[in-house]
Amino acid sequence: MRQLLLVQQLLQSKAPPTAPSGRAMLSELSPSPTCLWEAPAATVLAGDDPGDLPGPWRLMLLGDGSPTRHLRLLTGHPVSVELVAMAEEPEGQAALGCPSEVKELTPPLLRRQVWLSCGEQTLAWAESWWNQDEANQHLQDRNLPIWLSLTQGRSELFREVDGLALVQEPWLEDRFGCSGPFWSRHYRFFRQGRELTVIREVFSPALEEWLGTTPRQPLH
């Protein structure tokens, strides 16, 4: 009961944000994007040649650096986090469209969904899964990127990229302002060998302005 009250207080700490256009943001969790193609997990974990993916996109999608830091360095603008939803994951729902690694987290789970923008451009969408106690500890400021939330105490983290995929959803097309599919990846954070969270990110093709063009089709 105590941890549910903490989650409710966290959710109620601020009014639901709105998009730059003024339209209301979603107050409930959206279904995870539909996966059209996914790279073999063994290939991603081994860091094998991802085929036709250009070098800068390889670093963004398969590198173990902070994506929010990369976005700031690329654009010269700080990354703003626009919260879409943060709610308890219903029992049994974690298996629907989410990375298989989510099953390794200890329930009850919390899921958080955000848009990431630099200046006027929305460059990514992200969702993350947490044990509720971990969320209470690490997500005190809902507007901070997860990387900053986890490293405020300067404790060492390990990031493992587990998946690379092409995904599609009409609401992604609407916000990014272009047709899909879109490149996506998911990874985990570990601290002292313990899994903290599973994170999925979907990137806007607008990043081609800095990273160069990339095919949005299955890699061979």
Cβ partners under 8 Å of residue 116, min gap 6 = 67, 68, 71, 79, 80, 81, 82, 122, 123, 124, 125, 126, 145
pLDDT at residue 32, rounded to an integer = 92
What is residue 49's DSSP assignment?
A: -
pLDDT at residue 147, rounded to an integer = 44
Q: Above 70 in pLDDT, residue 210? A: yes
Quick check: 184 and 167 in contact, CB under 8 A?
Answer: yes
- Tell me which architecture the domain covering 43-211 has in CATH: 3-Layer(aba) Sandwich (3.40)
pLDDT at residue 15, rounded to an integer = 36
Binned at pLDDT 50, 70 and 90, residue 143 comes out as low
Quick check: 109 and 90 in contact, CB under 8 A?
Answer: no
Q: Cα separation of 128 and 148, whole Å? A: 15
Mean pLDDT, residues 39-53 taken together: 80
Entry pTM:
0.80
Q: Above 90 in pLDDT, residue 163? A: yes
Binned at pLDDT 50, 70 and 90, residue 175 comes out as very high
pLDDT at residue 174, rounded to an integer = 97
pLDDT at residue 156, rounded to an integer = 61
Binned at pLDDT 50, 70 and 90, residue 165 comes out as very high
pLDDT at residue 146, rounded to an integer = 54
Q: For the chain, which residues make up each domain, given as ranges?
A: 43-211
Q: Residue 176 belongs to what H/E stretch?
A: helix 170-176
pLDDT at residue 92, rounded to an integer = 63
> In the block, which residue shows the tokens 């941890």?
3
Cβ partners under 8 Å of residue 20, min gap 6 = 117, 120
Q: Cα separation of 186 and 33, whole Å? A: 12
Q: Residue 60 belongs to what H/E stretch?
A: helix 55-62
Quick check: 135 and 112 in contact, CB under 8 A?
Answer: yes
Q: Above 80 in pLDDT, residue 154? A: no
pLDDT tens-digit readout, 94-106: 557 889 999 989 8
Determine the Cα angle at 178 with ends 120 and 23, to 5°: 50
Q: Calculate what percentage of the chain has a pLDDT beyond 70.
A: 75
Mean pLDDT, residues 187-198 taken together: 84
> Hey, is 132 helix, strand or coil?
helix
Average pLDDT of the residues of the chain: 80
Q: Above 50 in pLDDT, residue 90? A: yes
